[in-house]
Amino acid sequence: MTTLIKEVKQKKHSKQGMLENVMEQFEHAAELVNLNPNIKKILSVTNNELIIHFPVRMDNGDVEIFKGYRVQHNNALGPYKGGLRYHPTIDIDAVKALAMWMTWKTALAGLPYGGAKGGIQMDPKKYSLGELERITRRFTYALGDNIGPEHDIPAPDVNTNAQTMAWIADTYMSTKKPSERSKNQHVVTGKPIGSGGLEGRDRATGYGVFLNIKFWAEQKNVHLKDKTFIVQGFGNVGYWAAHFLEKEGAKLVGVQDVFGTIINKEGLVVENLLDYTKNNEGSIVGFPNSENRDKEDFFGLDCDICIPAALGNQITEEKAHQIKAFLIAEGANGPTTVEAEKLLLERGVAIIPDILCNSGGVIGSYFEWLQNRNGELWELDEIMERLHKKMKEVFLKVLKVSETKKMDMRSAAYVLAIERLERTYIQRGVFP
C-alpha cells in the first residue's frame, strides 16, 4: 500500500515541503501516543482525492479549463471540514497536507468534524468578478454531492471570502429540489451575515488567541494587567487579539505589519492604531508617538507576551535567542520552527501551539453550521460565551496532558487529537 509517508519519501525534493512537515508532526505524535499501527495506516492516507477539470466561459466568449481540487483526509469524527483556496501554486500535495492538518485541528477542538481542503489552481487577479462567480459556481456544480452539509463543508481560505461562500451555497442549494433547498444552507461556513453567516465570525480567531493567553495566565497565576505584548500582523487575528488583551489591562508595545515595525514602550492604543491604519492605506507606519524599528529587531523587543499572528516560519533558531517574552501565543499557522521551539522550551519560554491557539476560527465555523442546521439565529454575546466555554475546555485538556505526561503543549495537543481519533476507530472497528 502506498502511504503518504512513502509518497513523501519518494518526493524528497518536494517543492512545497508542506506535506513533509505535516507528516513529520504526525509521525512524532503517533510515536508519543504509541498509536495502534493499523490506525496509523488509516490516518496516513487521505480518504478521497478529487481532481476536477471544468470549463468556464470567460467575458470575451472564450472557454477556459480550470483544475480544481478537493482532498478529504478523514471523516471518522464527522463531516469533512476545510477551506477552499484560489491560488496558482496549489497542487495536490499542498492540499493533502492542509487537509490532514484540518483533521488534527478539528479533532483537538472536540468538534464533530473531519479534515479536508481544496481549491482551484488559478490566479484570481486575472479574472473579473463575473468570471470569478462563474468559476466558483461551475466548480461547485462539478463537485456535486462530493460536498454537502452533512458530508463535506468548505470554508473561506486564501483568495476566497464570504462572497465566494454565498455563491457556493446558492449554487449547491439550487441543485436541490425546492422543498429541500433551505435545509442545505450549511453546505459552507463563512457566509455573509445576511445569508446565514455568524455574527462575530471576524473576531473568533483573535478572541480565541486572547482566551488562550488568559487561560494560561490564570493557570500560572500571572496577572495580565500591565503585562506588555507585541503582535506580528495587524489583520483580523492580530487586531482582535490585541483589542481583547488591552481590555484586560495589558499593554501593546510593538506591532509589525507588511509596511513596517513600530514601538512605544508606554503603549500603543489599539483602537487608535486601527483607526490610523484605515486612513493610512492599511499601514501602521507613522502612527503618532511611535518609533520605527528595523524588521529584524521585532522578535527581540522587550515584552512579556509575543503573538506571531501573520505567517509561518518566522521564529527561527536565530530569532529564538533574541526573544525576551515568557509566553508565545501562535495566532498564525506554524510561526515557530522545530529548532527554535526546542531552544525556547529549554529556556523555559511557554508556547501555546497554533493548532490550539488559533482554533477559535474553526470553532466559530462550527457554530455557524449549527446555527443554520437548527434554523436559529445566535446573538453576539451568546456566541462569545459559547466560544469561551469551548476554548476553555480544550485549553485545560491540553494543559493537563502537557503537565501529567511532562511534554510541551504542542505535543500534548497532537496527542489529544490523535488519541480522540484512535478511540473512535477502536470503538467503531473497521468495516466489514
The residue within the footprint of another protein, chosen from 65, 225, 375, 428 (CB under 8 A), is 65
DSSP string, 186-207: GGSSS--GGGTPPTTGGGHHHH
Q: Is 311 in the site for another protein (CB under 8 A)?
A: yes
**What is each CA distance from 400 to 216, 353, 412, in whole angstroms?**
12, 15, 9
Rounded least distance, CB 404 to another protein, Å = 32
Q: Is 192 in the site for another protein (CB under 8 A)?
A: no
Q: Do residues 184 and 173 lie in contact, with contact meaning Cβ atoms separated by under 8 Å? A: yes
Cell of 279: 486612513
Which C-beta is closer to another protein: that of 115 or that of 233? 233
Checking phi first, is residue 279 left (phi over 0); if not, alpha (psi -120 to 50) or beta?
A: alpha
Please identify, among the stretches 9-17, 27-35, 196-204, 421-429, the one whose residues bind another protein according to the rule CB under 8 A: 9-17
Q: Is 361 in the site for another protein (CB under 8 A)?
A: no
Quick note: the x/- pattern for another protein over 211-240, rule CB under 8 A, is ---------------------xx-xxxx--
Query: Could you tell me how many residues make up the chain?
Result: 432
The residue within the footprint of another protein, chosen from 102, 109, 273, 332 (CB under 8 A), is 332
Cell of 406: 511532562
Q: Is 261 in the site for another protein (CB under 8 A)?
A: yes
Instruction: Tell me whether residue 9 is one of the annotated catalytic residues.
Output: no
Q: Do residues 220 and 296 lie in contact, with contact meaning Cβ atoms separated by under 8 Å? A: no
Checking phi first, is residue 372 left (phi over 0); if not, alpha (psi -120 to 50) or beta?
A: alpha
DSSP string, 347-358: TT-EEE-HHHHT
The residue within the footprint of another protein, chosen from 12, 13, 125, 406 (CB under 8 A), is 125
Q: Is 274 in the site for another protein (CB under 8 A)?
A: no
Q: Is 241 in the site for another protein (CB under 8 A)?
A: no
Please identify, among the stretches 56-64, 74-82, 176-184, 272-280, the one whose residues bind another protein according to the rule CB under 8 A: 56-64
Q: Do residues 43 and 74 lie in contact, with contact meaning Cβ atoms separated by under 8 Å? A: yes
Integer Cα distance of 67 and 55 in angstroms: 9
Q: Is 170 in the site for another protein (CB under 8 A)?
A: no
> How many other C-beta atoms lie within 10 A of the C-beta of residue 137?
17
Q: Is 136 in the site for another protein (CB under 8 A)?
A: no
Q: Is 12 in the site for another protein (CB under 8 A)?
A: no
The residue within the footprint of another protein, chosen from 1, 2, 63, 348 (CB under 8 A), is 63
The residue within the footprint of another protein, chosen from 78, 148, 267, 312 (CB under 8 A), is 312
Q: How does strand 291-293 pair with strand 261-263?
A: antiparallel
Number of residues that bind another protein (CB under 8 A): 54
- Sign of CA pseudo-dihedral 309, 341, 101, 374: negative
Catalytic residues: 117
The residues binding another protein (CB under 8 A) are: 15-18, 53-55, 57, 59, 61, 63, 65, 87-89, 91, 94, 98, 123-130, 132-133, 142, 158-159, 232-233, 235-238, 256-261, 295-296, 309-314, 316, 332-333
